[in-house]
Amino acid sequence: MVTCISKSPDETIALGEEWGRTAHLGWIIGLTGDLGAGKTQLVKGLARGLGVSERVHSPTFTLLNQYVSGRVPLFHLDLYRLETRGQIIGAGLEEYFFHPPGVAVIEWVERWLGQIPSRESSGAAWPAPFRCVHIEMLSGQERRITYEDFGA
């Protein structure tokens, strides 16, 4: 598990941009954290690293934003308005949890997983490379970003 401290939204964006420069087809990133923690800021950076030219914004009301202008398509999902796996499946979003046709970033991923995985608690084999990210607000600008990679 890796932990870093971001002291500003710009630092959170820079971390996402670093990830975007090395992101590849089929990668899934699950994000957890309170409202306003910086999940969308991280996605903005990831999009920048992928070379996405569109304006990136939270898909809270649309559930899914697709950005195809980068070197790999980016699928940004927000499960905040969905409470159960059944609702997620009913919305047609489950394909992004297994083999996305690009990079899938899923805010509120715990709505799908039920609990946040860890090396100790998860013996399951992930069908695709999966990065589980937790963002914790430490102060007005400061965030603790913890992440762990699973899968292929």
Range(s) of the domain holding residue 138: 2-150
What is the mean pLDDT of the segment spanning 36-43? 93
Residue found under tokens 């607000």: 137
- CB count in 10 Å sphere of residue 18: 14
Q: Any idea what the CATH number is for the domain that residue 136 is in?
A: 3.40.50.300
Which region among 78-92, 97-111, 114-128 has the lowest average model confidence (pLDDT)?
A: 114-128
Q: What is the percentage of the chain residues whose pLDDT exceeds 90?
A: 72
Q: What domain count does the chain have? A: 1
Band (82; pLDDT cuts 50, 70, 90): very high
Tell me the average pLDDT of the chain.
Answer: 89
Quote the pLDDT of residue 59.
Answer: 82
Are the beta carbons of 38 and 9 closer than 8 angstroms?
yes
Non-local (6+) Cβ contacts of 30 within 8 A are: 106, 109, 110, 112, 113, 130, 131, 132, 133
Tell me: the pLDDT tens digits for 125-148? Answer: 566 789 999 999 999 899 999 999
The alpha carbon of 50 is separated from its chain's Cα centroid by a whole number of angstroms, namely 14
